[in-house]
Structure 1
Amino acid sequence: MIIKKIEVWGIQMPFRDGPYAMSHVTQEVVYGRILQVHTADGQTGLGEVVFPPSLSVDERQRLIADEPFYLSSLVGKEVDGLIQLAEELCGSGRSWSGIVFGLQTAGYDLLGKARGLPVSNVLGGKLGNGVDDYFSISECSVERISERLEIAGQDRKVIQLKLGIGSPEKDVQQVGAVLRKLTERQILLADANGGWSVDTACEIISRFDDPRVVWEEACSTYDENTEVACRTGKPVMVDQCVKEASLARKAVDDRLVSSICIKPAFLGGLTVARDVRDYCANSGMKMRIDGPWCGDIATAAILHLAVGAPPDLLIAGCDLREPLVRERDLKGVIRFDGCRIGPPSGPGLGITLPDNVMGDPDAIYSIR
């Protein structure tokens, strides 16, 4: 399959209920880029570039300004060139990971369509029809947290609570308030997003002896999180402190943390994330597979990866569109009973862009 044309659109999706706060950054709008790759034989592949939440406006604009150099180089080449270019860009720095993810997603979408297979099969196969959809809460008051819990409902297996935004005592109060409302079968991911020191994390965690709590990314580095796990004896999940595949494998081999969060848009694309997923599966390490908040195309790609994890090891996935205001629904998520979700059916990602739904592209690269 020869690449004939690439169209690019910028997207902006504000948060529906106001700013979404984490310990290291507060987001008001999610920015991304949609890629549609056309082949000479009439196929189209979709990708979504996901920029890191902490990326500055200037950094984002610099990455967008570089698009003509690498996208124009793909025109006239085989589709495999998308995957190859993505692998080459992996070494360009962590801010490029979301671009690598978008390029690889378009490549896998095209490969799946060419083979008549969903992306989940191209990534190694599907082990379940759906995944538990966790519900994330980022609020400053116990009252607002309670309101969000009502929206989530008791059928929701996993609740994530953002911490590290206020004082440690406030974090303790919020965790206690959530635990009092959860059922015995629900799980709380208490997520500080790396916002605590080791001592603060240990002090807060020591206040609770509840098997429903998993302490997510208490500190900003892998070594700090493993120290917290060793000192407290409580389950600790590592997330964005695992910045590359080699550190993810180390986390699995060390066996000091209880679980790992796999984010393809941060690790460097679907290929690397699949390898980490399979390494976790072979070692019996529990995992969560998701990403930063994003649109339909990226969410679908991540769900295709998630359904290939062993169900008994997968803590949850996520509808990463949930808190966002989207101008259009590309139906990147299928909902099942019991707060479970999955990727669209059909070959590739299972998503098509209706004609003119995106408006005029920001840029077009084509064979002249």
Structure 2
Amino acid sequence: MHIERIHVWDCVARFKQGIYATSRCQKSAIRGRVFQVLGTGGWKGFGEVVFPFSLPRQLEEQVIQAEKVFLSELVGKNIDHLMDRAEAFRAREAHWSSVAFALETTWYDLQGKQQNQTISSILHGKRSHRVTPYLSISVSDQQELKERLRSETEDAKVIQLKLTNQSWADDVAWIHQVLDHHPSVELLLADANGKWSVSQACEIISGCQDPRIIWEEPCATYSENAEVEQLTHQRVMADQCVGSMANAEKAVREKAVSVITIKPAYLGGLSTAQYLLNRCAEGGVRVRVDGPWCGGIGAAAVLHLAAGVEPELLIASCNLQAPLEASAMPGGVVVFPDGKISPPKGAGLGLREESLDERFGVPQAIYSA
């Protein structure tokens, strides 16, 4: 199959709660780029550039300005050039990994449709599972936390609580508020987004010894997070500090943290994320599979990866569309009555075989021979 045309849209989705805040930054909306690749024979493949949450706007624009060159060069080529181009982007600075993720997703979508297989079956070669999602809570004060807990957590088994780091006392109080008032919660991911020093992390963790807590990214670097787990003997999850393949493989080899997060958009695609998952399975390292908040294409791609992970290895995944307002973006997540989630059924990504022109309108750019 050869590439005949590529359509591109700029997509912006706002957060339902107005502002989504972490200890590093806050945003009212996320931005992405959507690719529709049309191949010979009428096949359509979809990909989504999922920008890192804290990526500066000038770097987003750098990627967008480069599209004219790298997408034009793909027209007329065999679809396997999507994977070749993705590999080249992985060798560049970290923010280009989001483009590699989009190109690989498009290739897997086209392959799945041609073979009448889901992306999950191509990646894992077996039947996929429904997965447990985590609910991410980002609030600015205790009253807002109380309201969110009352309105959204009835069925949540795993909650991620974004800590503000404004006050140690507030962070600890918020943690206890979740655990004391919601006994059905099986895991609380207390997310500091890497803002503490080792000594600060150890002091705070010593005051919260509940076995349901996993301390997510207390410090900025992998070595610091490993040290915190060693000193406190409490479970630590490495997140963005293992966003590169080198750091992630080191974490798997050393087994110095209890959980690592696998984000295909940061690792440069589904193929590299699958390779890392295989290493985790061999080493018995537990994982969470997710990524930055995004639209339905990116969300479905991530879930196809998560859905093939053995349940005893996967602590949770995520509905990456959940905190965003409904938009024209296709729905990439199926939510079941028991709260579990899966990607849509069907070949490739599982999204309906339709032209995205009908959803998004006139493309921002079209590349053709």
Under a length normalisation based on structure 1, what TM-score does the superposition of the two structures give? 0.97
Quick one: distance in 2 between partners of 1:255 and 1:239?
14
Q: Provide closer, same or farther for how the CA distance between residues 142 and 125 of structure 1 changes in structure 2, counting only shifts above 3 A.
A: farther
Contact preservation (8 Å) 2:157, 2:184: no
For structure 2, the 5+ residue unaligned runs are none
Counterpart secondary structure, 1:11: strand
Q: 1:311 to 1:127 in 2, by over 3 A?
A: farther
- One-letter identity of the residue aligned with 1:324: L
Deviation string for 1:226-263 (max 9, x for gaps)? 11111100000000001222221211121111001110
Q: Are the equivalent residues in 2 in contact too, given 1:128–1:311 (CA < 8 A)?
A: no
Displacement of 1:55 in angstroms is: 1.6
Superposition pairs for residues 7-18 of structure 1, below 5 Å?
Answer: 7-18=7-18
Are the structure 2 counterparts of residues 312 and 152 from structure 1 closer, same or farther at C-alpha, using a change threshold of 3 Å?
farther
Instruction: Single out whichever of 165-174 and 8-17 deviates more from structure 2.
Output: 165-174
Q: Say whether residues 1:333 and 2:333 are aligned partners.
A: yes
Task: Provide the secondary structure at the position in 2 that maps to 1:279.
Answer: helix
Q: Is the 8 A contact 1:48 1:102 kept in 2?
A: yes
Quick one: distance in 1 between partners of 2:260 and 2:115? 32
Cα distance in 2 for partners of 1:165, 1:114 equals 49
TM-superposed deviation, 1:155: 2.5
- SS in structure 2 opposite 1:12? strand
CA deviations 1:155-192 (Å, max 9, x no partner) are: 21100000144222211111111111222552100000
Distance (whole Å) between structure 2 residues aligned to residue 129 and residue 364 of structure 1: 37
Shift of the alpha carbon at 1:146? 2.0
Aligned-partner Cα distance in 2 for 1:127–1:346: 13
Q: Distance in 2 between matches of 1:97 and 1:165?
A: 29
Aligned to 1:70: 70
Partner of 2:169: 169
1:292 aligns with 2:292: yes
- Aligned pair count reads 367
SS of the residue corresponding to residue 241 of structure 1 reads helix
Structure 2: distance between partners of 1:136 and 1:189? 9
Q: Is the 8 A contact 2:22 2:163 kept in 1?
A: yes
Distance in 1 separating the partners of 2:313 and 2:157 = 14
* SS of equivalent residue, structure 2 residue 203: helix
Question: Which residue matches 2:29?
Answer: 29
- Partner SS for 1:143: helix
* Equivalent residue, structure 1, for 2:311: 311
Cα pair 2:343 2:349 within 8 Å, conserved: yes
Matching residue of 1:180: 180
Aligned ranges 1:8-157 → 2 under 5 Å: 8-126=8-126, 128-157=128-157
Native 8 Å contact 1:47 1:102 kept in 2 = yes
Partners of 1:132 and 1:102 in 2: CA distance: 25
Alignment of 1:346-365 (within 5 A): 346-352=346-352, 353-354=354-355, 355-365=357-367
- 1:202 paired residue number: 202
Q: Which runs of 4+ in 1 moved over 6 A?
A: none
- The whole-number CA distance in structure 2 between the counterparts of 1:238 and 1:128 is 25
Q: Which runs of 5+ in 1 are unaligned?
A: none
Out of 150-159 and 24-33, give the one that drifted further: 150-159
Structure 2 Cα separation of the partners of residues 359 and 333 of structure 1: 23
For residue 327 of structure 1, report the CA deviation from its aligned partner.
Answer: 2.0
Question: Residues 154 and 183 of structure 1 are in contact (CA less than 8 Å); yes or no, is this contact kept in structure 2?
Answer: no
RMSD: 1.3
**TM-score when normalising by structure 2:** 0.97
What CA deviation, in whole Å up to 9, does each residue of 1:130-152 have, x standing for no partner? 11111000112222112212233
3-state SS in 2 of match to 1:356 = helix
Q: What does residue 278 of structure 1 align with?
A: 278
Q: Secondary structure at the match of 1:8?
A: strand
Does the Cα contact within 8 Å between 2:159 and 2:185 map onto a contact in 1?
no
1:235 corresponds to which residue? 235
Query: Which residue of the partner structure matches residue 248 of structure 2?
Result: 248
